[in-house]
A and B are shown apart, each in its own frame.
Chain A
Amino acid sequence: MKKRIVFNHRVLPYALLAPQILITIVFFIWPASQALYQALLIQDAFGLSTQFVWFENFSELIDDEFYLNSFQVTVVFSAATAFLAMSAALLLAVMADRIIKGATGYKTLLIWPYAVAPAVAGVLWWFLFNPSIGVAAYILRVFGYDWNHTLDGGDAMILIIVAAAWKQISYNFLFFLAGLQAIPKSLIEAAAIDGASPRKRFWTIVFPLLSPTTFFLLVVNVVYAFFDTFGIVHATTSGGPAKATEIMVYKVFNDGFVALDLGGSAAQSVILMLIVITLTVVQFRYIERRVEY
């Protein structure tokens, strides 16, 4: 039973809600409806004439092979980023859960990357992998791999995946560690007595019990890879070479602010909006219901 509070005064509840509603309207509803409206318009590059075209922007997108390419790039990029960030974080969390000495220092250090701005993270990895001056690129060359993300689309994709995943590991690590520490130690001991090897204990007991955390992080990581990685792409590859790393968010920026196709760009952001709404609904449906044991 939820406790309901009844206000005697008529205006007070609205006054209390007003700041939140105002912020939501100014920063969310208004721009979103602007985007929705703009998606139905075609404007010339100088903004001198505007034409209402219904859904022409959308139908053009569907036929646009660059847009389909961007969609594929995004899927590959977000899947790889989520997988890499989550598996690395889980590995680190399992290690951190085991050690006793210096645990706090270790955890603190692992959280640092989260405080680094996306663009800075991008530049950092760009330096490491820079074909002419990068340390990582140099080492790869020693091992016989000619790394060049300015020419090779695959290399470029790997670069942004690594940079994006690296930044997200800290966040995932925190959640996985909390999840691991919530598993009663006696369960692991019972499994040890039941004859399960450490590896088997992990896959049959720990991992299934972590699944609520894992699912939550999967959604968060996909959303992150879709929407929060603009800075990384912009600072490292700018979507290149030959649009090999042009993820959808980057294409919105590129089409809108570089190519000045505001209508098409708005239509793309509406599609992204739908994707994030879907992901949020999925998350609420399954997370809020809590995968409870």
Chain B
Amino acid sequence: MADVQLRGVKKDYPGGFRAIHGIDMHIGDGEFIVIVGPSGCGKSTLMRMVAGLERVTEGDILIGERVVNEVEPADRNIAMVFQNYALYPHMTVFDNMAYGLRNRRTPKAEIEKRVAAAAEILELQGLLDRRPRQLSGGQRQRVAMGRAIVREPSVFLFDEPLSNLDAKLRVQMRLEIRKLHQALGVTSIYVTHDQVEAMTLADRLVVMNAGIAEQIGTPMQVYRQPATTYVAGFIGSPAMNFIAARLGPDGADIELPAGGRLPMSNGALASQAGREVTLGIRPEHLTVSGAGDGVVSLNVELIEQLGADLLVHGHFGGDRTDITLRLAGATPVSAGDVLPLGVAPESLHLFDRENGRRLETAAPSDVPM
């Protein structure tokens, strides 16, 4: 086991494209870190650098106090689960798992012991003589994890391991990965573009965008106090509503474009008075208030019934700002209605209009970490 440190890690590809713009972070021993972001944000590149499959252009990567920039992947004591599983098709399940151990000249009895143990954890006992093509997607996924487990590495790397599975299996395997981590306690780095995986698996998550770590924090920190509009829009489903607004003259309330004011919960931003801001409100934090006392009146355009919940899409104001809100499934509402909406002051998120950064004080600061 080991911790992992990234110090000013940058990656340039030939041709001058900078994939990673300098990332600093410390991953504690036994921590489960999820790197989440859209495709092309550099999350896989970052992990492949930790694995040693990509060269580091600048900065240092340390695994357990040792700089590994120039260390071969085989000598970093890591194991990786690939998106397409990367099982050796011409070998049996047993040989797939034993391959790494044989290359390290592990005694035969030890190999058999470790493979048997991994097979038991992953419920692969009956499948050891099969070849990968005779297995289902979920079983292949397990073999790929088994191959990582038997090595007893100090760091696990997961490169979108669930994205080739169907939705139901994905939920199941997600739980199993979490259980496995609790049982083994190995430092893990997990790359995904799926925010549900990110929220449920992570001890801490790294939200990446265009080669920059926009925010590093626990799932609840990221949900409650998104550092930028990008993070706010990426984490949470349906995505946060953004409204172009302006801070009032004393910085204590928010002027909406359609008219109307929203008071802020704690403290004023006196220094920012009159500033153009982006106001963020999560769909689940909007409530339908009594007729007449809503802050805005929403013209309902479309209803999406999800069973337990109901998504209402509509717009308000002269510039027809789009708003989505989530209501309990049984709420009687239909297209064409006008809903008065309210929101608790502590559920407001304020961002700088220009650089998209969060303006503090708009949300409670006593978020449990």
Contacts and interface: CB of A to CB of B under 8 A. Distances in A.
Contacts of B151: 194
B53 A192 contact: yes
Contacts of B103: 194-196, 200
A189 B133 contact: no
Contacts of A128: none
A189 B82 contact: yes
Interface in B29-75: 51-53, 72-74
B25 interface: no
B80 interface: yes
B88 A195 contact: no
A184 B74 CA distance: 19
Contacts of B80: 189-190, 193
Given A209-B90, A292-B133, A293-B131, A194 B84 contact: no
Nearest to A101: B14
Given A195-B74, A195-B100, A190 B133 contact: no
B138 to A, nearest CB: 19
B74 A193 contact: yes
A191 B151 CA distance: 13
Interface in B72-105: 72-74, 78-80, 82-84, 86, 88-90, 99-100, 103-104
A251 to B, nearest CB: 42
A132 interface: no
Contacts of A208: 90
B132 interface: yes
Interface string A166-206: 00000000000000000010110111111110001000110
A280 to B, nearest CB: 26
B99 A194 contact: yes
A206 to B, nearest CB: 11
Contacts of A192: 53, 72-74
Given A195-B103, A293-B132, A189 B86 contact: yes
Contacts of B52: 193
B132 A193 contact: no
A193 B51 contact: yes
Given A184-B84, A293-B131, A193 B90 contact: no
Interface residues of A, number: 18
A193 B79 contact: yes
Contact of A187 (B72, B79, B88): B88
B115 to A, nearest CB: 14
Contacts, number: 59
B212 to A, nearest CB: 26
Contacts of A293: 89-90, 131-133
Contact of B88 (A193, A200, A205, A292): A205
A192 to B, nearest CB: 5
Contacts of A196: 74, 99, 103
Contacts of B84: 184, 186
A205 B103 CA distance: 13
User: Which of A186, A196, A200, A292 has the largest count of B CB atoms less than 10 A from its CB?
Assistant: A186
Contacts of B83: 186
A270 B57 CA distance: 66
A239 B263 CA distance: 102
Nearest to B84: A186
B133 A186 contact: no
B152 to A, nearest CB: 13
Nearest to A193: B73
Nearest to A293: B89
User: Which of A193, A196, A293 has the largest count of B CB atoms less than 10 A from its CB?
Assistant: A193
Contact of B104 (A184, A191, A195): A195
Interface in A207-237: 208-209
Interface string B125-165: 00000011100000000000001000100000000000000
Nearest to B51: A193
Contacts of B99: 191, 194, 196, 204
A102 to B, nearest CB: 14
Contacts of B51: 189, 193
Contacts of B131: 293
Contact of B100 (A184, A186, A187, A194): A194
B105 to A, nearest CB: 9
Nearest to A194: B100
A190 B89 contact: no
Contacts of A292: 133
A286 B147 CA distance: 32
A183 to B, nearest CB: 10
A33 to B, nearest CB: 45
Contacts of B53: 189, 192-193
B78 A193 contact: yes
Contacts of B147: 190, 194
A194 B104 CA distance: 8
B90 A184 contact: no
A186 B52 CA distance: 13
Contacts of A191: 88, 99
A293 B132 CA distance: 8
B96 to A, nearest CB: 9
A197 to B, nearest CB: 8
Nearest to A187: B86
A292 B131 CA distance: 11
19 contacts: A186-B82, A186-B83, A186-B86, A189-B53, A190-B82, A190-B86, A191-B88, A193-B51, A194-B100, A195-B103, A196-B99, A200-B103, A204-B99, A205-B88, A208-B90, A293-B89, A293-B90, A293-B131, A293-B132
Interface of A: 184, 186-187, 189-196, 200, 204-205, 208-209, 292-293
Given A186-B82, A192-B53, A194-B103, 11 more contacts: A184-B86, A186-B86, A187-B86, A193-B80, A195-B74, A196-B99, A200-B103, A292-B133, A293-B90, A293-B132, A293-B133
The 7 A-B pairs of least Cβ separation, nearest first, read A293-B89, A194-B100, A195-B74, A195-B103, A186-B86, A190-B86, A193-B73
